């Protein structure tokens, strides 16, 4: 039985499920990170943390299939470490893992130190949401129907962050300074954000559009 988060139950995807991300992939990770625990959900930064060049990212064990229609995961900030240079986002499999999500081509990230969003650019970020730190929960969602992505902070939706989401992506996180530590939730436990109500509206609107075609 394929893993299926509760917000996808009853969706068209349930009738023909494809593997979804369930854990971080230790074989698809920068050497500056350590995956802790049997579930593969917690990640600790173990690099030198001397500057931005010491950033380290990791991808999940499976990509996000566009057939899912809507995808969402959350990241709990266990420890923001020395500087809180934490990036939460997604990206293509070909992206290098020595930068935070959003700094490499075809990667996207919301960063904790300044609250900016980054898309394929190490140089320029854009104001998006509030900074985040120890104890915060950051959610990341992709709506494949309209090709947009959004974030949440502590259960509150921050609005659209990116558009023209058109490729195959993996959930990603990146850490950069000593003691930074996160733990992901890919749907094994309830999310802080009410993604189920959000999903109902998304799938209802998608069904209406399909009926008109």
DSSP per residue over 142-178, as a string?
EETTTTEEEEEETTEEEEEEE----S-BEEEEEE-ST
At 208, is the pLDDT very low, low, confident or very high (cuts 50, 70, 90)?
A: confident
Domain region containing 27: 6-212
DSSP reduced 3-state for 2: coil
Per-residue pLDDT, averaged over 168-172, amounts to 97
Tell whether 192 is covered by a domain. yes
- When mean pLDDT is compared across 49-53, 64-68, 172-176, the lowest value belongs to 49-53
pLDDT score at 213: 54
Whether residue 46 lies inside any domain: the answer is yes
The answer to whether residue 212 scores a pLDDT higher than 80 is no
The enclosing domain of 34 has a CATH number of 2.60.120.920
| Percent of residues, the chain, with pLDDT higher than 90 | 85
Q: Is residue 1 part of a domain?
A: no
According to the model, what pLDDT value does residue 210 have?
64
Does residue 12 form part of some domain? yes
**pLDDT confidence of residue 205:** 84
Residue 142 contacts residue 169 (beta carbons within 8 Å):
yes
> Are 128 and 110 contacting, i.e. CB atoms less than 8 angstroms apart?
yes
Count how many domains the chain has.
Answer: 1
d(CA 211, CA 156): 31
Residue % of the chain over a pLDDT of 70: 96
Backbone torsions φ then ψ of 116, nearest 5 degrees: -85, 155
pLDDT by residue (tens digit) across 13-62?
A: 998 889 999 999 999 999 999 999 999 999 999 998 877 679 999 999 99
- On whether residue 196 sits in a domain, the answer given is yes
Residue 111 lies in a domain: yes
**d(C-alpha 74, C-alpha 32), whole Å:** 22
Mean pLDDT across 72-91: 97
Tokens for 140, please give them: 């990341």
Residue 170's pLDDT is 98
**Residues 127-153: tens digit of each pLDDT:** 999 999 999 999 999 999 999 999 999
- The more confidently predicted of residues 48 and 163 is 163
- Res. 8 pLDDT band, cuts 50 70 90: very high
Cα–Cα dist 97/176, whole Å: 12
Averaged pLDDT for residues 194-201:
94
Is 203 inside any structural domain? yes
The pLDDT of residue 206: 82
Does 73 map to a domain?
Answer: yes
Q: What is the average per-residue pLDDT within 74-101?
A: 97
Place of tokens 């494949």: 144
Provide the whole-model pTM: 0.95
Residue 209 has pLDDT above 80, yes or no: no
């Amino acid at each position: 039985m394929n893993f299926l988060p509760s917000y996808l139950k009853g969706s068209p995807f349930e009738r023909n499920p494809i593997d979804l991300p369930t854990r971080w992939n230790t074989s698809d990770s920068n050497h500056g990170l350590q995956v802790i625990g049997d579930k593969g959900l917690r990640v600790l930064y173990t690099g030198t943390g001397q500057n931005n060049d010491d950033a380290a990212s990791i991808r999940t064990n499976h990509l996000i299939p566009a057939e899912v229609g809507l995808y969402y995961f959350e990241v709990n900030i266990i420890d923001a470490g020395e500087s809180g240079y934490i990036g939460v986002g997604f990206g293509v499999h070909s992206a290098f893992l020595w930068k935070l999500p959003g700094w490499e081509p075809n990667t996207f990230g919301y960063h904790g130190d300044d609250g900016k969003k980054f898309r394929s650019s190490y140089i320029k970020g854009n104001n998006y949401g509030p900074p985040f730190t120890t104890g915060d929960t950051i959610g990341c969602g992709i709506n494949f129907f309209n090709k947009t992505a959004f974030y949440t902070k502590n259960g509150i939706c921050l609005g659209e962050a990116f558009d023209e989401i058109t490729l195959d992506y993996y959930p990603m996180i990146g850490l950069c300074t000593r003691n930074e530590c996160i733990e992901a939730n890919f749907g094994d436990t309830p999310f802080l954000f009410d993604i189920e109500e959000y999903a109902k509206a998304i799938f209802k609107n998608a069904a209406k559009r399909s009926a008109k075609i």
